[in-house]
């Protein structure tokens, strides 16, 4: 089978969609399928290279920030893998504020708009000169799906038969997730129409939760969602490496993995909880792994949190296994499930979830798949507050002993999320099994 994947994020980029689609592409290639990927350029990669039997074409940039990074040798908004997190200077803060308040509000469909034309040119060249059975576009960013729309439009205008099926893989909804302040009604309506157009024209769309399918039905109607399929997050263990935690004795290690994005996910509720855990003062180490944007730096460092920045997936998995408690800061929406949820499950470590909604997708997942529900603590935040009794229960839970899960039981729980299962589900959606 011949498959073309169009995704702005691909290895060695550190991003949930990059990890998911690099793993799937290499799984398909190992099974004898021909897989090609159109993605974005990097200073440290060739524009065309064969990686683990996957042909990778790199063209264009996924954001204005990435274009500047290519020009000046580093990103003005976030560091690279392994770089220490440092206090942003005045110019960095000024640039970030300008970038967020001006460019990201003007760019349509998103700040990857610059990538659409180069990705379209490369994809058209491949489709007109080679046979493909399926074209898969990936978001975030949503610009990848715009490439898919334009490909369909191009072939329909020329009255050329389309022999490939278009699968739109949706990491996050585009038109109705928690919106940044200042977005105009015109922009919201435009995004709504564009996302509906993608759902109408794609042969099949994939999301990671049934809750998101229900939300699409509410927003766009049931006719659109008839072609949506649910494929869960992916788990792929990495080679064992040394944990990036500092060596020596430690207090109770509480660790967060991921990135914070206002207004969908901010640290404020967790920082409030942390301040109320007075019995644990001096006995609790808090570690954050992932990109730290300038708007959050001061709040996190003032709370005494250790910032480790972006790390390789192997280092991240090692740190997860070495933590005493894993932290999840929930989304402001009930239908978005962070991809790290399966990585957390795989460690067998206790998990503290800060939920911001009544029906938190992360909490629902752990209630279903956790081997020991006593090792999962869901702390619900309502109207920005948590009552004292909940803090007391959390303090007791942190002090309790939680045994490791049975290895066989855990392996069975992880089976639906293995790359072989997830990759097979996508092939089924493309009708090319």
Please indicate, yes or no, if residue 309 is contained in any of the structural domains.
Answer: yes
282, 337: one domain: yes
What's the rounded mean pLDDT across residues 174-202?
79
CA contacts within 13 A on the Cβ side of 384: 2
Domain that holds residue 316: 252-412
323, 360: one domain: yes
| CATH number of the domain residue 135 falls in | 3.40.50.2000
229, 266: one domain: no
Q: Is the pTM of this model over 0.85?
A: yes
If we measure between CA atoms, which residue out of 269, 273, 249 comes closest to residue 260?
Answer: 269
Confidence check: pLDDT of 68 > 90: no
Confidence check: pLDDT of 227 > 50: yes
Residues 225 and 335: beta-carbon distance below 8 Å: no
Instruction: Report residue 75's pLDDT band, with 50, 70 and 90 as the boundaries.
Output: very low
Instruction: Report residue 86's pLDDT band, with 50, 70 and 90 as the boundaries.
Output: low
195, 149: one domain: yes
Q: What are phi and psi of 128, to 5 degrees?
A: -80, -15
CA contacts within 13 A on the Cβ side of 219: 20
230, 270: one domain: no
Helix, coil or strand: residue 235:
strand
Q: Tell which wins on pLDDT, 422 or 190.
A: 422
Residues 381 and 264: beta-carbon distance below 8 Å: no
If we measure between CA atoms, which residue out of 328, 245, 321, 258 comes closest to residue 285?
Answer: 245
What's the rounded mean pLDDT across residues 389-415?
92
Q: What percent of the chain has pLDDT above 70?
A: 87
163, 33: one domain: yes
- Interval 301-346: pLDDT, tens: 988 899 998 899 999 999 999 999 999 999 888 888 999 999 999 9
What's the rounded mean pLDDT across residues 179-194?
73
Q: Which residues contact 303 (CB under 8 A, 6 or more apart)?
A: 271, 274, 275, 286
Q: What is the pLDDT of residue 112?
A: 86
Q: Within the chain, what is the greatest distance between any pair of CA atoms?
A: 71
Instruction: Report residue 77's pLDDT band, with 50, 70 and 90 as the boundaries.
Output: very low
- Interval 245-279: pLDDT, tens: 877 667 899 999 998 887 788 899 999 999 999 88
Q: How many domains does the chain have?
A: 2
Instruction: Report residue 295's pLDDT band, with 50, 70 and 90 as the boundaries.
Output: confident
């Amino acid at each position: 089978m011949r498959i073309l994947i169009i995704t702005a994020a691909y290895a060695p980029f550190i991003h949930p969609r990059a990890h998911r689609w690099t793993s799937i592409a290499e799984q398909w290639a190992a099974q004898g399928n021909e897989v090609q990927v159109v993605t974005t350029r990097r200073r440290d990669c060739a524009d065309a290279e064969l990686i683990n039997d996957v042909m990778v074409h790199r063209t264009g940039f996924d954001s204005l920030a990435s274009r500047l990074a290519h020009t000046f040798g580093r990103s003005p908004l976030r560091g690279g893998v392994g770089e220490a997190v440092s206090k942003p200077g005045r110019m960095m803060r000024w640039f970030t504020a300008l970038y967020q308040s001006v460019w990201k509000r003007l760019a349509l469909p998103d700040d990857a708009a610059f990538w659409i034309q180069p990705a379209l040119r490369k994809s058209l060249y491949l489709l007109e000169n080679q046979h493909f059975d399926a074209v898969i576009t990936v978001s975030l960013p949503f610009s990848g799906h715009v490439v898919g729309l334009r490909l369909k439009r191009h072939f329909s205008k020329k009255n050329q038969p389309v022999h490939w099926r278009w699968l739109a893989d949706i990491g996050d909804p585009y038109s109705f997730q928690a919106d940044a302040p200042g977005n105009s009604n015109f922009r919201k309506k435009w995004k709504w129409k564009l996302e509906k157009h993608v759902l109408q024209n794609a042969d099949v769309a994939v999301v990671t939760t049934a809750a998101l399918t229900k939300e699409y039905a509410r927003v766009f109607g049931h006719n659109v969602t008839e072609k949506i399929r649910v494929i869960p997050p992916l788990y792929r263990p990495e080679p064992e490496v040394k944990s990036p935690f500092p060596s020596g004795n430690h207090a109770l290690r509480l660790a967060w993995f991921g990135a914070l994005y206002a207004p969908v996910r901010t640290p404020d509720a967790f920082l409030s909880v942390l301040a109320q855990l007075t019995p644990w003062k001096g006995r609790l180490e808090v570690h954050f792994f992932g990109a730290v944007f300038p708007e959050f730096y001061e709040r996190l460092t003032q709370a005494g949190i250790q910032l480790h920045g972006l790390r390789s997936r192997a280092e991240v998995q090692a740190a997860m296994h070495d933590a005493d408690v894993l932290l999840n800061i929930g989304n402001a929406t009930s239908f978005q499930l962070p991809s790290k949820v399966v990585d957390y499950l795989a460690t067998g470590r206790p998990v503290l979830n800060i939920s911001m909604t009544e029906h938190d997708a992360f909490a629902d997942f752990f209630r279903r798949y956790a081997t020991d529900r006593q090792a999962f603590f869901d702390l619900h935040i309502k109207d920005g507050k948590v009552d004292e009794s909940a803090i007391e229960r959390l303090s007791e839970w942190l002090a309790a002993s939680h045994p490791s899960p049975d290895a066989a039981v855990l392996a069975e729980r992880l089976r639906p999320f293995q790359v072989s299962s997830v990759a097979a589900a996508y092939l089924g959606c493309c009708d090319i099994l």
